[in-house]
Chains A and B, each alone.
Chain A
């Protein structure tokens, strides 16, 4: 069984300050981390590997300027990783990447399960899973908390309306994981050093493919055009409501009425 995990990176939020009034984002420390939801997808795959001994192959979410996230995944226990090289790193959106990833999966010899993060931290988009499932013609389970494989099916736990439900789909399938659902394990020290130093077996597990070898060049274009960035308006200060619950409720009702009149 082969599990394909798709991982992306995001600018470490602890290294940036957003100043709405100035209309700018100040980057104090430019460091990238794994997308939080993708971390959960990787952990889910590694747990399945621990339990069933399957192969875990990692692909990047988009065209990235370096292969750091792939090395991080290999250090944590992934078996293979493919770095996709191409023009315009970081410019490729989900629409443009979907055919590239589908072609990469085919070139890998197919897969039984694709795992990726449900929603990205920076752009808030959650389309990669559904688009891939559509393009591959596989069933999808979105925003899962847990993933298990039983016989020819994948079983996942989702949260709906405050309760947990278990859903099942036949393999092959695409499952997206919610951010915070699983704690990603720490890298193995020896694998980490060797994969970054480029020595030993683990270093050979990192391959590089050119995207133009996977899809025709006319397919390789982003479907969205970014024309700028805007900040939401400042939030007004809240009002603290005091008193008994009845008094507080009356105060809230009064405040709401006044706001409607305004």
Chain B
């Protein structure tokens, strides 16, 4: 058992850390205040190759594997959850669906520019009536010759406002539902009939675009069916497994940031004549954060190792997302407490961190859905198929 990072992953971490410190941290507070997507940062990330970190080099990626992708999310999220979220939606679910189930031609045409950061991706799953119950989507695709006509709408689509390519899930056979009646499509956003209806005004991750999308008779060529007709639900669930794992990695970064802020404040802030560091109440909080952080890091790195060695990882991916978002939220909550009144001041990054942490418990499948995934895997091993 070897717990050390490989030389290329150590070098990669150093590169990402340098990028995050120089290009992301200085604008983190500004993009939150201005509710602005830092598109210039996304382009700069693309130029270095980091937006293709986990994809093979033959498709314009770096070939650093899932472990490399975890390091990217961890380091970026230390500097800004908004930037990490933009990247996560682009790589982890948007482009990932094409990588996992796209054919050779689709990978050359779509994955390569996405991996190089020349184009940006989003993942179109959620609808007003289909959140945790993803199979209840209503966006409809009807075959018309060599094309499919797409009608419907998606909500809460991260990167939706600026993405060039969106993987969209639509019903192709209402009678079959999730078992053969749902298909994934690759949609270019400059096609006629596509429009961005509105942007959400959010509490956290304000440096991201969360958009409502409308498809009105969008003509999608048959060659843009992702995977097989009727098997889109499986493609999307596989992509979400990847996204959940790296969301756990992002939570390592958020928790690390919280811990560092706590230690910095406990070293300088004096009460009752001594620094907070000498107060046992504060020590216990910091010890708890550090312990959970270490446990989370071990869980996420092990899950990444499973992916990189071609082993099943769905169960651990759900645990990464569930435990990671809980740990990150608990940590930042304690760090706000350690900062006292200043913890809710907009002058301190912990305030932004507190607002940003909440969404991790919700998106990419709520934590309640993760518990269902984990429990159903356990029961399945014992011959029981739990009912929704």
Partners in one complex: yes
Residues of chain A touching chain B, judged by Cβ–Cβ distance below 8 Å, are 31, 68, 71-72, 75, 186-190, 192-193, 196-197
Q: Contact check: which of B6, B11, B14, B62 meets A190 at CB < 8 Å? A: B62
16 of the cross-chain contacts (CB-CB < 8 Å) are: A75-B15, A186-B15, A188-B49, A189-B12, A189-B15, A189-B48, A189-B50, A190-B49, A192-B12, A192-B15, A193-B62, A193-B63, A193-B64, A193-B68, A196-B6, A197-B8
CA distance A68 to B10 in the complex (A): 11
Q: Which residues of A contact B47 (CB under 8 A)?
A: 186
Q: Which residues of A contact B50 (CB under 8 A)?
A: 189
Whether B18 is near chain A, meaning CB under 8 Å from some CB there, is yes
| B15-A187 in contact (CB<8A) | yes
What is the chain B residue whose CB lies nearest that of A75?
Answer: B11
Given contacts A75-B11, A196-B11, contact A186 B64 (CB under 8 A): no
Whether B57 is near chain A, meaning CB under 8 Å from some CB there, is yes
Query: Which range contains the number of B residues in contact with the other chain?
Result: 20 to 34
Main secondary structure of the interface of A (DSSP, over half): helix
Q: Which residues of A contact B18 (CB under 8 A)?
A: 186
B 11-49 binary contact with A (CB < 8 Å = 1; else 0): 110110011000000000000000000000000000111
Q: Which residues of A contact B53 (CB under 8 A)?
A: 189
Whether B7 is near chain A, meaning CB under 8 Å from some CB there, is yes
| A196-B7 in contact (CB<8A) | yes
| B57-A192 in contact (CB<8A) | no
What is the chain A residue whose CB lies nearest that of B21?
Answer: A14
| B15-A193 in contact (CB<8A) | no
Residues of chain B touching chain A, judged by Cβ–Cβ distance below 8 Å, are 6-8, 10-12, 14-15, 18-19, 47-50, 52-53, 57, 62-64, 68
Q: Which residues of A contact B10 (CB under 8 A)?
A: 196
Q: Which residues of B contact A193 (CB under 8 A)?
A: 8, 12, 57, 62-64, 68
Q: Contact check: which of A68, A72, A186, A189 meets B62 at CB < 8 Å? A: A189
CA distance A192 to B48 in the complex (A): 10
Q: Which residues of B contact A196 (CB under 8 A)?
A: 6-8, 10-11
Q: Which residues of B contact A72 (CB under 8 A)?
A: 11
CA distance A197 to B9 in the complex (A): 9
Q: Contact check: which of A31, A186, A192 meets B8 at CB < 8 Å? A: A192
| A186-B19 in contact (CB<8A) | yes
CA distance A31 to B53 in the complex (A): 24
Min CB gap A195→B, angstroms: 8
Q: Which residues of A contact B49 (CB under 8 A)?
A: 188-190, 192
CA distance A196 to B105 in the complex (A): 31
> Known pairs A192-B11, A193-B12, A196-B10. 10 more at Cβ < 8 A?
A68-B11, A187-B48, A188-B49, A189-B12, A189-B62, A190-B57, A192-B62, A193-B68, A196-B6, A196-B11
| A186-B48 in contact (CB<8A) | yes
What is the chain B residue whose CB lies nearest that of A33?
Answer: B14
Q: Contact check: which of B11, B19, B52, B68 meets A71 at CB < 8 Å? A: B11
Of all A-B residue pairs in the complex, the 4 with the closest CB atoms, nearest first, are: A189-B49, A196-B8, A189-B62, A186-B48
CA distance A98 to B34 in the complex (A): 54
Q: Which residues of B contact A188 (CB under 8 A)?
A: 48-49
What is the chain A residue whose CB lies nearest that of B65?
Answer: A193
CA distance A53 to B15 in the complex (A): 25
CA distance A209 to B261 in the complex (A): 46
Q: Contact check: which of B6, B7, B14, B52 meets A189 at CB < 8 Å? A: B52
CA distance A189 to B68 in the complex (A): 11
